[in-house]
Structure 1
Amino acid sequence: MTDYRRTLAGRRQRWFGLKPLVKTGLSARPLHPLLRLAARLVPGIRAGRLPAPAGLAEVAGTAAGARFVLVDPGRCEIAKEFYWGGGRRPDPADALALDIVTALARRAAVLLDVGAYTGVFTVAAAAANPGLRAHAFEMVPAVVAGLHKNVDRNGIADRVRVHSTGVGASGTRMRVPSGEGGSSLPSFYSAHMEFAEGFEVEFLALDDLLPPELPEVEAEQRADAPGQVVMKIDVEGAEDPVLAHGQELLARHRPDILCEVLHGQADGRALEALLAPHGYRWYLVRADDIAARERIVPDPVHRDWLFSARTPAALEADLGRIIA
């Protein structure tokens, strides 16, 4: 077994050991006025990738009118983005993706946040809908701890169940590093990777969440009705087994799904085969709109897609005139 962290891709992810040193230097508070100026004036600098100032405990965020808080921007990549974006995700397509899930959650009963990281979709959706219940799935122990911190800080622990598991074939097991140390909490681990050591994590199938976990949601969702279940999937190219082992859930609830579909990793044809039997349409999430597509073809620029079995008119009733 070749541990992913020792591969060229894994070593490059950590800048061959230099990343913690660079981040520590750039997080010094006296440098941040200069960093803000550089982010505005120097082409190619993405402000959301720069470190937050040392000692900053939390940041406030908004999505689709909902307000929430994210803790630990020094280690959480998403909280850091909200610091640089002034309370919004700096990339317009990322901001729109979060707005979409948050808006869809306003009339939903349940959110399934698969690959939750530290929980920005969970806390934003719960802030938008006080009656929403959420299941958040994350398999890296240190990231799970960050997820719990955000759930507790936003006062939604009674409505959120955190699952320290992967999602896919029930009973599958893999080892994952703790996620401690390093310059930030890892956001790129997936079920495709192998690690020589770490914590053993068991996987759960989406279909395992059917009663008793989803008892009150009406079955056989109509195509013109508000979605009772909303789902977000961000699993770094491992979305096929997530959906393959959730076919009963898809058939029964037909959730609206925001799914990351990575160029060079995702299999669009396989996703179509898993979704088409349930009447799904697919839309590429861009900076200002979502574009209907005949096929799921991973895009080199935009990562997120919206999958929905509802009519375009029903979607726009929740999202506004957003379909290109």
Structure 2
Amino acid sequence: MVTGQVRAFVRRHPAVRHATRQLRIRLPRRLGGLDPARVPPRVRRFSLMLPRRADGPAGGPDELRISVPGDLSIPARLHRYGLAGYRPDALACFLAALETVRPGAVLDVGANVGVYAALAAARSGRDVYAFEPCPQAARAARAIAADNGLRMEVVDLALSNHTGSARLHLSATSDATNSLTPGFRPEVGRIPVRVGQLSHWREEAGAAPAIIKIDTGSTEPDVVAGGLEVLRRFRPWVLCEVLPGRGIGDRLTALLDPLDYHWYRLDGPPPHAPRPSITDGPGRRGRMWLFAPSPAPDRLWTRARQWREALDRCR
């Protein structure tokens, strides 16, 4: 327990983490030393190329300036591969939805550093909200928005099916896999976070959600359960990760079927065929799905193909 608490403390404080690594790179490997070439920088600075659809609007920035703590996993991946290497099938559908669905707000639930939220702010005039309970990731999302003049609000809140507080389990494998679910990943510690329901937040904020992305480390059905009133009233389009082997697809199907939603697995080039149910799928990694309040129109898939081609150039 003491070791876990120490690791959690180091994980939450970048200055302590950096000092610890500087000490370890001076140690022999047999004593726990680190390879200096594999130690991330204290601050990661780079420019992230953004996609533009052929014949699409010319507004918004061509790139984002990124300056965040060096060991955050998603910025590290973006730095190495660009947006072309970060879920391009899901991002293409998300960008197409920004252009084709009715007016309304965009909600990035489980935002981490806010990739989807930043794209929505850069490529649309919609109100954008990024929900992220982990303080370090939320600070990075705010920094990205401020450094690039993006109009998006970061909300320090974990959305679920109840209101109050909970413990966020900090993943030992990646800061992108923190979760409210105990045992979801090997952990280095836990931190208390605020928890709320989407329906309650919407009522207080006065927002009218049109697009919602959900990626919360196995608690996606809880997010949907806490927002059923929003789905009934506003009929937003939802992009949601479905992890294998946890019954998440069955739970989501049970929640959404009475609302007459349609579901599409975003895997490979569009168009995507509707599925009879939301399935977990093979493999260890999750897949993003589109939950649509009405059958997806052809123009959505046409735009998605165009955005996919644009994302392939963002390397």
TM over 0.5: yes
CA offsets, 1:114-139, max 9 Å, x none? 0000000000111111x211111111
The residue aligned with 2:287 is 303
1:26 alignment partner in structure 2: 38
Q: Structure 1's 88 and 3: CA in aligned 2 closer, same or farther, altered over 3 A?
A: farther
Matches within 5 A, 1:176-195: 176=168, 186-193=175-182
Distance 1:23 1:162, change over 3 A: farther
Structure 1 equivalent of residue 49 of structure 2: 61
Gaps of 5+ in 2: 6-23, 54-59, 308-315
Note if 1:286 corresponds to 2:286: no
Q: Could you tell me which residue of structure 1 aligns to residue 88 of structure 2? A: 95
What TM-score, normalized by structure 2, do the two folds share? 0.72
Q: Tell me whether 1:119 sits opposite 2:111 in the alignment.
A: no
> C-alpha root-mean-square deviation of aligned residues, in Å?
3.4
- Preserved contact between residue 64 and residue 99 of structure 1 (Cα < 8 Å): no
1:190-229 equivalences under 5 Å are 190-193=179-182, 198-215=190-207, 217=208, 229=210
Unaligned segments of structure 1, at least 5 residues: 7-16, 28-50, 218-227
Task: Tell me if structure 1 keeps the 8 A contact 2:69–2:140.
Answer: no
Q: How many residue pairs are counted as aligned between the two chains?
A: 266
Shift of 1:278: 1.7
Q: How does 1:79-158 map to 2 (within 5 A)?
A: 79-85=75-81, 87-90=82-85, 94-106=87-99, 108-129=103-124, 131-156=125-150
Which structure shows the higher helix fraction? 2
Where do 1:154-165 residues align within 5 Å? 154-156=148-150, 159-165=151-157
Report how far residue 256 of structure 1 moved.
0.9
Equivalent of 2:238 in 257, 266, 284 = 257
Partner residue of 1:78 out of 64, 74, 78: 74
Distance 1:278 1:57, change over 3 A: same
The one-letter code matched in structure 1 to 2:91 is L
1:169 to 161, 169, 173: 161
Distance across 2 between alignment mates of 1:199 and 1:73: 19
Q: State the distance in 2 between where 1:229 and 1:4 align.
A: 44
In structure 1, what is the Cα distance between the partners aligned to 2:196 and 2:153?
Answer: 14
Corresponding residue of 1:48: none
**2: distance between equivalents of 1:292 and 1:22?**
48
**Percent of matched pairs sharing the same residue:** 26
Which residue type is aligned with residue 201 of structure 1?
V
In structure 1, the partner of 2:11 is none
What is the alpha-carbon distance in structure 2 between the residues aligned to residue 205 and residue 244 of structure 1?
8
Letter in 2 for 1:82: L
Please give the TM-score of this superposition, normalised by the length of structure 1: 0.71
Flag the structure with more relative contact order, 1 or 2, with Cα contacts below 8 A and sequence separation at least 6: 2
